[in-house]
Amino acid sequence: MAGADSLFGIGDNERRFAEQHGRVLSQGHQSGAVGGGVGRGPDLRFGDSQDADLLESLPLEQAAWIISTLPDLHSNRQLLRALAHRQLAGEVAVVARDDLQGAALKRAGAPVVLYPMRNAVDYVAEQIRQWLLDPARVPPAAR
Write down the pLDDT at residue 110: 94
Write down the pLDDT at residue 9: 56
Going by pLDDT thresholds of 50, 70 and 90, the confidence category of residue 70 is confident
Euclidean distance between CA atoms 135 and 129, whole angstroms: 10
Going by pLDDT thresholds of 50, 70 and 90, the confidence category of residue 61 is confident
pLDDT at 26 over 70: no
Determine phi and psi for 113, rounding to 5 degrees: -115, 125
What is the reported pTM? 0.65
| Nearest CA among 34, 40, 17 for reference residue 93 | 17
Higher-pLDDT residue of 120 and 20 is: 120
